[in-house]
Structure 1
């Protein structure tokens, strides 16, 4: 689909907040050698270069398993694996060096591309790689010597930060070096995970053959770590094992967010990072405060929370009876047994629209994106019910809703039943968000 000029302008403007948020941050981008075999690979590298041009500090970590397998096949070597881990003898190590070096050169060439008709014209990107990963051997396990297969001992954080500070993209291959002068074949998952943790990266972005993480054949857009681990234990998760393992390890270690997107789709990284809906899956740290659907035991806490706002005229009064009958339409944030935030989602059967109502956050807990968390939860609920438009009526919080992407509309844009209930004396403004 071709974007009109106005659509392009709108898309660019809507991306601006994300550009500001990501500028100066450190992202580790991980993909296996399979990504290099995709028809979309050149565009993928161009998109990574675009991230760099927007002021994001980029560390690329690539794998090379299919390329290594290809070279092993050419040389007639018998590949050996134990529990999915390659045993790297001297002959295999030469294949590893050849494959990793060749793929590294391919990536560097794509990052250097600057033809006038290419998206990277004038970019002049510097790429740094080298002995930035210190490795050690896996050793002997259960009587099996893995020889030149190793794991990360440490990451040269200072060296990488110096290169990032000089404006370079850092490229890490699945190889590490020991103080004794040996070379080891490493898992690119291990390199990416340890690099993200050591550098305290803001994000780990994994590129997968799949569109993201799935449950019941549905793509998970956003999920907290504890919820994901629970679903994994229940056998409900379908995802690329390598990507999932790296995401879990980094978020458990304190990295706030980790993403999984497909390397097949044109622009998947850009859509994930610069649009509200994203494109793949996001795993985030579990909040100390619990966001959940309200139940009947929460009615008292909700009433206590909203009463000051009702008295000041910010919210319309709601009786206990009404709250009890509608409580399953509310989402709440609970902290140490106390309801500190709430919001309701009311469906309208005659349309594909839903109302966000009774948004309230305790005075002592404002900030920390609690309102945004509630809004994201309601948006997710609305999409599950095939709702295409959210609307809100407000008298004092219009700016906040504008910041969340809502647009002011006329009263006649509301569902018919809501128009009939509109209080002209209160004169609330109407804001809508298309999902």
Structure 2
């Protein structure tokens, strides 16, 4: 489902934009407005719809979401006027980008415990898989049979894979927790009859997580949206983008698989403040280094942060809020992610249109990121801080000048 959510993601929908603009005589400003409004409305709907996964049987919720996704793809393919486009965008963003990813990661969070990190990592692997394979395939299909007909194939693929697997492969015996034992951090959820999203938003854990969850899609979607202007700003050949995206997909996949076992061994809380540091390095490199190799360092470092972040943030939501109402919690954070993916391109576009250029975009992004990294340090458990302090003191004593002279 994470791989098939690509049909509702920006990087694939962008392939259809030139055809839509030509077919209905739409301007860049108008099509981006349609897309932005549809994304914002879907983000507003996600908390209400996404929390139903806590009360509606998983099979029913998955099939209903798939029906909406397929209907949106078909509606898009039968577009006869400009007003079809924002409606189709809304359905694709809600069901595809939002709910398909939400169902996948929420299920891994709920039904796995000792191996939760590994399960989330494997499920998250669908995102870079879709990014690496589907764009090239879609472009070939569009070239062979047309953009409308390619949407029929997309709808058939989503419908066939998810529906058949949900109906015939997922059995009730599979939908049980990995362990019936409750870990200490989750004992409080037994006392809670119902969790409301406004209660989640009042918690300190929410305000610890929210800036991180907002920033990554905000910055990465914004910078991906303007990747050709970035290459032009640096004076590089546009052909370097394809190699950079491949490096991004490889780094993201590798870091996702690495993150899972580390989370299961040490907990997500331990790594939370540090997964954004590679992205900080990435922004510094793309801003300050003029050489073409900077593009690959930028993409690799960004991929490392995205891969680790996907697994760490998903696991941390369970560590903070428990798994009983994880659907309610995750739908709220997913809506923030979807909203930020609409805000990023818009804000960066305003900065560029104002004539400030990437010499302003990159420093602004770096300052925001640095503040988020510092506030994330509050997540580190006190016993971990004490252990690190003890080890540092021991290192300091071992380097005592008197001892070294002897």
TM-score normalised to the size of structure 1?
0.23
User: Considering only CA atoms, is the larger Rg found in Structure 1 or Structure 2?
Assistant: 1
TM-score normalised to the size of structure 2?
0.24
Q: Which has the higher helix share?
A: 2
Q: Which has the higher strand share?
A: 1
